[in-house]
Structure 1
């Protein structure tokens, strides 16, 4: 966050002596001056929602610059509100989520940081374009936003080109122009003891290469199946078929915010309305009913979605504990071969 704001302020300070009131900001209807104020408004709004733990509405305040504030003063407002958001992000516990309207009506600290970075980069671009000067931020900042709140966007030639295209501000070879867009924070489901947190492409790639994905794990996790699933998720992102809600979810125990394993879908439902689910628990978390609890919740959610007719699970023939999990969750065996048993649930048990 600090790097994005510093880059914005440095770029715009070089043109602070120009007329921001009389020039439109790129393709926006706002003037360059209004767009600069908007950056500060967004940063303080995100900080307020996250710090105040607002869960169902916007924070009930707004900011305004003092009459007579010049362009340098507007940049000071951006720097100050950016510092406030950065401080809130650093000090907010990982599990806290606050209100954001779409698509799942909440975001965590990383989501708010990514939204803040995106607002800063994109509107700095708009102002620069309106004033006729070039602007390109560090690639890692654009990548930070893309891999956290644009999971549905297939990577392009460079992160910055991709971010501009994804927000209707540029073109990419072989892709149709974007005329409407929204970013997407990760989905979250809750059970009695667990929070199921949808992984972002950033978390998936970190888990796939041996990292923790931004989670605190029990001693024996993450297990091998979780890392394999994360690799599949990252590949889906690279191919442009990642769908935030039909992804891998990390199972987090709420009492201590420890990750226990992962559960998720192999992809979006197919043409017949079938979706396949898989799961993996760290050894420390087995035998306590967590997998059954999570499977019931995720299956119930899936069957409530339009077009979903059945949820399938394919279990190794020798994996008796996993077979018991799907049975307890209401699945019925429908097929088998030499190595696997296939189970399905078509409707929730009464």
Structure 2
């Protein structure tokens, strides 16, 4: 899957500007923009400023904080001038996305303090769609973007939001701008870029619902894989993540991670959780590697980091893994990562297991 972030930004800007341009004969500075606290003109300035800021983060490879600059409209700028600035900012942002390598991440505070080009593209599209809606609402214009644009946003930076039959109204609900049947109104919200955990030789990159759907369907999920990857287990885990997302129970930090080698940016396998921790704080891990990447310690290295990260959380007390008795390689991985064979009592406490599998556990403070 070649990510379409730059194209989606360009399309979102063009579609929004076409609608808003029908009202440039009005004084936007004196009209409130929907439910936000700004005027329509100030909201247009905000759209352009965010697009430029996101371009600056990626272009400047900012790691610790925002690049310290901002743009403002000149005092005598009218509605048409504001739209020209949005178009210009969108073009610059799209060009930046196209020229930013896949593995580059830049600072963004929510929620894991970084985003890649896909995350920034989705945030940019969200800014355009949502604030164009605010402006249109203030001006009394009808505005509804093509469904694939809000879907692009939802499946990349709203992984915890259960999809609905109408992506646009789902996005409006998710951002406190609308209602959905059988869902409580949202008064607080925050989008969520994917979590990335570094190891010495790898990065564990959280898989978005969009990438999971691609992997489950036989695609690459917007990763550059080694020749014999991804292995079947990764595609199966991606399918599990998609089902959890569709059911509204997906917690992205307890989903699938793709293991990417630092030296060449190639994906070599998948690792993650079979779901969020249960009420006792227990979670199950699983992993697999492409055959060409096995026997080099990658799985152990990744599992140690993932396990340490999970057990440092307040909602995780122990981790487990089930392994077939004849899978000696996986047993060596799990042992080197600090897991131990479960006792009979521990097996009983974890509930029913598939017959013949062995249970390994790692408790907080044990590894």
Q: TM-score band (shorter)?
A: over 0.9
CA distance in 2, matches of 1:55, 1:25: 33
Match of 2:104 among 96, 101, 109: 96
Displacement of 1:8 in angstroms is 1.2
* Counterpart Cα distance in 2 of 1:67 and 1:26: 22
The residue number in structure 2 matching 1:345 is: 362
Q: 1:208-249 CA deviation, whole Å, 9 max, x = no partner?
A: 000000000001100100000000000110001111211100
* Counterpart in the other structure of 1:273: 281
Q: Report the TM-score when normalising by structure 2.
A: 0.94
Distance in 2, matches of 1:56 and 1:5, equals: 29
CA distance in 2, matches of 1:91, 1:23: 38
Please give the alpha-carbon distance, in whole angstroms, between the structure 1 residues aligned to 2:147 and 2:215.
Answer: 22
Contact 1:300/1:348 (<8 A) preserved: no
Aligned equivalents of 2:36, 2:162: Cα separation in 1: 25
Give 1:327's aligned residue: 335
Match of 1:177 in 2: 185
Q: Separation in 1 of the partners of 2:291 and 2:365?
A: 29
The alignment status of 1:49 with 2:66, answered yes or no, reads: no
> How many angstroms does 1:274 deviate by?
0.4
1:216 equivalenced with 2:224 (yes/no): yes
The match for 2:308 is 300
How has the CA–CA distance of structure 1 residues 333 and 119 changed in structure 2, closer, same or farther, with 3 Å as cutoff? same
> What is the deviation of 1:90?
0.5
Aligned to 1:261: 269
Q: Is the 8 A contact 2:341 2:358 kept in 1?
A: yes
Tell me the CA shift for residue 55 of structure 1. Answer: 0.8
**Residues in 2 aligned to 1:329 and 1:138: alpha-carbon distance in whole angstroms:** 47
Following superposition, the deviation at residue 15 of structure 1 comes to 1.0
Does structure 1 conserve the Cα–Cα contact (< 8 Å) formed by 2:27 and 2:78? no
SS of the aligned residue for 1:185 comes to coil
CA contact (8 A) 2:29 2:39 kept: yes
Indicate the residue corresponding to 2:6 in structure 1.
none
Per the TM alignment, residue 263 of structure 1 is displaced from its structure 2 partner at its CA by 0.2
Q: TM-score, normalised by structure 1?
A: 0.98
CA contact (8 A) 1:330 1:348 kept: no
Q: CA deviation at 1:349?
A: 4.7
Q: Distance in 1 between matches of 2:224 and 2:159?
A: 23
SS at 2:360 equivalent: strand
1:142 aligns with 2:150: yes
Match of residue 15 from structure 2: 7
What whole-Å deviation, never above 9, does each CA across 1:109-133 have from its counterpart, x for those lacking one? Answer: 0000000000000000000000111
User: Which ranges of structure 1 fall in alignment gaps of 5 or more residues?
Assistant: none
Contact 2:28 2:78 in 1 (8 A): no
Structure 1 counterpart of 2:5: none
| Residue in 2 that maps onto 1:206 | 214
CA contact (8 A) 2:231 2:288 kept: yes
Query: Is the aligned partner of 1:288 residue 2:305?
Result: no
CA distance in 2, matches of 1:192, 1:112: 26
- Residue 273 of structure 1: CA displacement? 0.9
State how far apart, in whole Å, the 2-side matches of 1:193 and 1:146 are. Answer: 31
Give the CA RMSD over aligned residues: 1.0
Q: How many residues align?
A: 350
Q: How does 1:110-189 map to 2 (within 5 A)?
A: 110-189=118-197
**Cα pair distance change 1:337/1:222, threshold 3 Å:** closer
- What are the within-5 Å matches in structure 2 for residues 76-91 of structure 1? 76-91=84-99
Query: Which of 181, 195, 201 lines up with 2:203 in the alignment?
Result: 195
Q: Which runs of 5+ in 2 are unaligned?
A: 1-8, 348-352
Between the aligned partners of 1:249 and 1:66, the Cα distance in structure 2 is: 45
1:249 to 1:166, Cα distance in 2 relative to 1, 3 A: same
Q: Partners in 2 of 1:21 and 1:60 — Cα distance?
A: 26
